[in-house]
Amino acid sequence: MTCFMLSCLLGAVNTGSIYFKNVNDCLYYSERLSGQTMESEEGIKKYECICKVVPYVNTKKIKVY
């Protein structure tokens, strides 16, 4: 199954990924989550999310929304 992976980074650290069947759902969450900031000991970090096409996902092992 082809799907779209929402991958989010906080600074340089990957905070997680979620898989979607529909590109519009992936883009919706990417727009809503990107640009948020978080204060830490190292300073202010910006949350950035992107959508990537994943050509094949084993749906028995990965939940696709």
Rounded CA separation 14/47 (Å): 10
Give 16-56 pLDDT, tens digit per residue.
899 999 999 999 999 999 999 988 888 888 989 999 999 99
pLDDT on residue 13: 82
Residue 14: band (very low, low, confident or very high) from pLDDT cuts 50, 70, 90: confident
Q: Does residue 3 have a pLDDT over 90?
A: yes
SS (H, E, C) 9-51: EECCEEEEEEEECCHHHHHHHHHHHCCCEEEECCEEEEEEEEE
